[in-house]
Structure 1
Amino acid sequence: MKLTKKICLAITALALVVTPFLVNCNQIQTVAAAKSSKKTAKGKITLIYGAHLYNKYGHKIKNKNKYLPYAQDDASGYKYIYSFNADVMKYYGTRKIKDQKFYNIGNGCYISTADIKEVNGKNSKKGKLVLLQKSAVYTKTGNKTGHTLPKRAIVKYQGKVKQVKSRPKYYYSKYFKSDNDEHFFYLPLTKIKRKNYYAIGKNRYVKAYNVASLDGYPLTYNGVTTATVLKKTATQTLNEMKTKHILKKGQKIKVDLAVTPWAEDFEGYIFRLHNHHDEYIDENCINLRNYLPTTDYSDLTYSFVTAKTTANVKLYDATGKPVGISFNTAKQSDFNVDGLFYIWNAATNKAELYYHLLSNNLDRKALINNDGTQLKAPATDKKYGPTILTTSEKIIAANSFVKASDVKFSWGIKLSPVNTSLAAEQKQKVATDSDKVKLQKDFDSGQQTINESVHYDALMQSYDYALANAAVVLRSSKATLAQVDQAIWLLKTTKTQIKTLNFPEFA
């Protein structure tokens, strides 16, 4: 994942069921201080995650007519402060409400201590967990003790938190300035009758599934959790296109991943439906039970490989022959790929694996001729100015490969071969006109689509170049069955990408 995207996730990983409208942290502090100017601040607090506001009776504040400049309304209309907009807030005293401490932040608003991580810079939740809901206390044999802890109870745990390299079942994460990377921490679990528990005393346990935070960090559940639909809505695809699948208000659904969708600015997560992995629902439409692992749109959309060495990486055509151009790895060593093919190499008499580069992913600044010289600049239209590519240049842009042996998988979707090594060998026969019927049909259909569309967009341009490649294969009297199959694949793939990709991402 890119560094900037990791940072974005780090900043926003604490938000769950919130609206996409953000408020300014400085505004929170300034306005709150102005409203409470007659009081002297007792100190500062920071939040674990987003927090609801309560009145002095411990009731959530729900008043559309009440203007609170440092809060927004959540999906149900209750006043809510978003953790990523309130890193540090002033408080003016505390109040005990229903046996729990609340912090007065002014304007008649209070925040529960269960939602607070730091008080005056000190982590008040170190060594403690906060319960998500009312939870029974169990013995090691799995029997209930008869004692039940209330919702949002703060409890000391037993055991020591450990760091781990990969995401365990339950964990929290931190980002360190030294490497700007995500680091995972977990508290060892106790297995009782196949369920996970945390120890909170001698022979006393609570279900891990009922824990909201640990050590002042949201506890992430690396599994499948439930969500309640808050309003009638249609699900959407990863690139935010509505589907025909309608969810009803009050419906319980299963979700398993929080995804940052493609957008210029982060506006909240979409959640993947566990039983419909191509469908997602916006966070504003659900009430989520547990925090889920987060990932990025790019991780679920693209596949990246990286050059194994600092040597320049050669480009090949659909027959495995060098096109005379290489990537200068000093300028670009990561490549966005969308297909993995076995291509028969007549010279070595064997099939080798090649990655197909995502069309239009060739950055001319990173390309050089195989002899090390610079590429010749493409022609331009004297009247209109846009670059004009020759047919061969279009084919290189749309249908280039790198040897799998020259690169290694980096991140994103791990690809499987489109064909087999045996098929690559068997399809070296020259294709007849009858073998090209499907390609001709797809070409004719695609040509009509291009003629009826405005195709200056990069994805439409890739499809245009795929058509140019198909035209060459159709005209060639030497094109093999393998080339025909690959040309059909390229047309289908680039056409699909027009609808499924928001943009052709570069490394």
Structure 2
Amino acid sequence: MKLRNKITLISAATLMALSPAATVLSNNPSVVQAAKVSKKTITTNQFDNFRYNGNGKELSGFVKKNTTLPRLSGLVTIKGKKYYRVGKNTYVRADAVAKIDNKNTLLLNYNSYVYNNKGKRVKVPTLKKNLPILFYNTKTIKGKKYYRIGKNQYVKAANVGVVNGKIQYVDETYVTVKADKTHSYTKDGYANDTQYKKGQKVRVDQFIYTPASGSDDFAAFNDDSAVPFYRIKGEKDAYLSSLDVTPRKAMKAVNYDDLHYTFAEYTQPADMPIYTINGTPSDVVVPHAATNAERQINVDRLMYIWVPSEKKAELFYHISSQYVMAPEGDVYTIGKAHKFVGDGFVKQSDVKVSGLELKPVNTPEEAEQDSKTATVGDKQALQNEIDKHTDVEKSDAYRLTSRNKREAYDTQLKLAQDVEKSNTSTIAAVKLAVWSLQQKTNDLDGAKVHVKNVNQLTEAEARKVYRVAYNANDVYTPQYNYLITIRFSDHNRRLSMNVRHYSKATQDPKFLVSSTDTELKISDYATDK
């Protein structure tokens, strides 16, 4: 799931949350004075901002980002919030200001002391958080960064939240838990046993949209948008929902997918062709008319392929999935069609990419050489990889992984066997078959759940065991529609499964073909060793 568009919204919300305090320090010349009114200017920050009237009510239309406006007043308080008047009965919130009179301006996250150039506290009133403060430059004092706000007056950079309208993101911070019995979660959204108390502070080192961010359990209440998580520092797989905590400092939201995958978006105003390892178009295209279909696909390899029709090598991206979504007709509807492409490719020149950067794995010269027909010797590495399948299929990695990953491995194994048997396979096809089978083997991530006591599972452990047990027993039967139900009983000491097969795509009892109950061994899916 791609969630990149949400990041800007989160950043804007973070900035808007920095509402200015009601009091302005009158004895500090670097703080903007409410009493002085002059025809000067303010420049807005990097977001579009609301306009308000004298009662603090939103007016229609926005002030565009990075806009310079006349400053017709100093700070004005309206219903406890601070504004600048920029027109007749028109105001802009003070936290929307990036610069004042085109001078550098900062906002503090916390009430802060003022220091001199020796790092010693100056006896002046404490600066209040979220007040617009002019600054001149930065200075390092005893290894720490400060902003100079006046003659021999400095404020700690660690306390600064916004500089010239831009949020100052940090790599690590603390978050404060909002309620008792708050759980941490795995990246896939499964609750861990660890619970946190209200007010507890937890060190975090990443603010990220995990695979669970878009699920209904974690969507924001107001608009069902995806919610990012804070990764707990030092934990292997533990995240706190941003709905459950308050951060001390802002962290830039990142996307789990962008850190782990590469995406190619087709940019051409035509059907999207899918190519083979031999540089020829396959039988599958994504129709241009289906503009709402997936014209953005996951890719996992960049390589040169020899194109016979052009007698040269070109760069192609390998599609990570064995299927692409290629709906028929002029209008894309819910009746989407997944077309099998096996090892398919898209031309680098046809797409723009995002996410994890890929580098070419071969050269144009190697691509030309590999376009020759493979010999028996060229296929030996492929045969060795194929011969591993018996051990692979007996492993927990295969047995306990999700059905789609098992099926992807099975399909890739069959493709590899076909390449090995064919007398016309090119060296490139053989090398690709080896790599692709290795990739699908590495994707097999099944494993027993590590628990404290396999005979006395906690609720969090039971939820994880349930997922593994379901994966292991989810076996596709094409002639039936089936329903698998797995249940714990006796305080998580017994595990059972019911499988129902229906002759039609419905759970109507009159179409029930069979119903089978089976006792499962928890130790098949969990271990305390």
Shorter-normalised TM range: 0.5 to 0.7
The alpha carbon displacement at 1:366 in A equals 6.5
**Residue in 1 that maps onto 2:169:** 222
Q: Which amino acid aligns with 2:436?
A: L
Identify if the C-alpha distance between structure 1 residues 350 and 11 changes in structure 2 by more than 3 Å, giving closer, same or farther: closer
TM-score of the superposed pair, with normalisation by structure 2: 0.51
**Residue in 2 that maps onto 1:123:** 93
Name the CA distance, whole Å, in 1 between partners of 2:363 and 2:132.
57
1:323 maps onto 2:282 in alignment: yes
Identify if the C-alpha distance between structure 1 residues 415 and 451 changes in structure 2 by more than 3 Å, giving closer, same or farther: closer
**Residue in 1 that maps onto 2:114:** 137
Name the CA distance, whole Å, in 1 between partners of 2:182 and 2:4.
28
* 1:353-375, Cα deviation, whole Å (9 max, x unpaired): 2101231551222799xxxxxxx
The alpha carbon displacement at 1:273 in A equals 6.5
**Residue in 2 that maps onto 1:490:** 436
Identify if the C-alpha distance between structure 1 residues 452 and 132 changes in structure 2 by more than 3 Å, giving closer, same or farther: closer
Q: Secondary structure at the match of 2:131?
A: strand
**Residue in 2 that maps onto 1:413:** 356
**Residue in 1 that maps onto 2:209:** 259
Identify if the C-alpha distance between structure 1 residues 455 and 297 changes in structure 2 by more than 3 Å, giving closer, same or farther: closer
**Residue in 2 that maps onto 1:158:** 134
For the 8 Å contact 2:229–2:241, the answer to whether it is kept is yes
**Residue in 2 that maps onto 1:209:** 158
1:48 maps onto 2:17 in alignment: yes
Sequence identity of aligned pairs in percent? 23
For the 8 Å contact 1:255–1:271, the answer to whether it is kept is yes
The alpha carbon displacement at 1:254 in A equals 5.7
Identify if the C-alpha distance between structure 1 residues 321 and 134 changes in structure 2 by more than 3 Å, giving closer, same or farther: same
1:401 maps onto 2:345 in alignment: yes
The alpha carbon displacement at 1:142 in A equals 5.6
For the 8 Å contact 1:338–1:357, the answer to whether it is kept is yes
Q: Which amino acid aligns with 2:351?
A: V
Name the CA distance, whole Å, in 2 between partners of 1:480 and 1:275.
48
**Residue in 2 that maps onto 1:336:** 297
Name the CA distance, whole Å, in 2 between partners of 1:350 and 1:274.
49
Q: Secondary structure at the match of 2:154?
A: strand
**Residue in 2 that maps onto 1:190:** 138
Q: Secondary structure at the match of 2:279?
A: coil
1:306 maps onto 2:281 in alignment: no
Q: Which amino acid aligns with 1:263?
A: S
1:146 maps onto 2:122 in alignment: yes
* 1:234-253, Cα deviation, whole Å (9 max, x unpaired): 98664446899x99998974
Q: Secondary structure at the match of 1:155?
A: coil
Identify if the C-alpha distance between structure 1 residues 498 and 281 changes in structure 2 by more than 3 Å, giving closer, same or farther: farther
Taking only aligned residues, the RMSD between alpha carbons, in angstroms, comes to 5.3
Moved more, 129-138 or 268-277: 268-277
Q: Which amino acid aligns with 2:173?
A: T
Name the CA distance, whole Å, in 2 between partners of 1:495 and 1:367.
36
1:354 maps onto 2:313 in alignment: no
* 1:211-262, Cα deviation, whole Å (9 max, x unpaired): 24579x8x63334223368699998664446899x99998974614443634
* 1:120-168, Cα deviation, whole Å (9 max, x unpaired): 97625456755334533245x4644523664853533116xxxxxxxxx
The alpha carbon displacement at 1:400 in A equals 0.7
Query: Which protein shows a greater Rg?
Result: 2
Q: Secondary structure at the match of 2:360?
A: coil
**Residue in 2 that maps onto 1:179:** none
Name the CA distance, whole Å, in 1 between partners of 2:382 and 2:410.
19
The alpha carbon displacement at 1:310 in A equals 1.9
* 1:447-505, Cα deviation, whole Å (9 max, x unpaired): 66899689765x555444323322312322443454333223323434555759xxxxx
The alpha carbon displacement at 1:438 in A equals 3.2
For the 8 Å contact 1:138–1:204, the answer to whether it is kept is yes
**Residue in 2 that maps onto 1:32:** none
For the 8 Å contact 1:227–1:286, the answer to whether it is kept is no
Q: Which amino acid aligns with 1:338?
A: V
Identify if the C-alpha distance between structure 1 residues 414 and 263 changes in structure 2 by more than 3 Å, giving closer, same or farther: farther
For the 8 Å contact 1:439–1:484, the answer to whether it is kept is no
For the 8 Å contact 1:257–1:292, the answer to whether it is kept is yes
Q: Which amino acid aligns with 1:430?
A: T
Name the CA distance, whole Å, in 2 between partners of 1:252 and 1:157.
30
Identify if the C-alpha distance between structure 1 residues 132 and 355 changes in structure 2 by more than 3 Å, giving closer, same or farther: same
Q: Which amino acid aligns with 1:205?
A: Y
Where does 1:235-254 land on structure 2 (aligned, <5 Å)? 238-240=187-189, 253=203
**Residue in 2 that maps onto 1:182:** none
The alpha carbon displacement at 1:317 in A equals 1.2
Q: Secondary structure at the match of 1:136?
A: coil
The alpha carbon displacement at 1:210 in A equals 0.5
Where does 1:37-186 land on structure 2 (aligned, <5 Å)? 48=17, 123-125=93-95, 126=97, 130-139=107-116, 141=117, 143-144=119-120, 146-147=122-123, 150=126, 152-158=128-134
**Residue in 2 that maps onto 1:473:** 419
Q: Which amino acid aligns with 1:336?
A: I
For the 8 Å contact 1:135–1:151, the answer to whether it is kept is yes
Name the CA distance, whole Å, in 1 between partners of 2:192 and 2:313.
41
For the 8 Å contact 2:412–2:436, the answer to whether it is kept is yes
Q: Secondary structure at the match of 2:327?
A: helix
Structure 2: runs of 5 or more not aligned:
21-54, 57-76, 85-89, 220-224, 331-335, 447-529
Name the CA distance, whole Å, in 2 between partners of 1:271 and 1:135.
26
Identify if the C-alpha distance between structure 1 residues 331 and 284 changes in structure 2 by more than 3 Å, giving closer, same or farther: closer
Name the CA distance, whole Å, in 2 between partners of 1:299 and 1:314.
24
Q: Secondary structure at the match of 2:433?
A: helix
Higher relative contact order (CA 8 A, sep 6+): 1
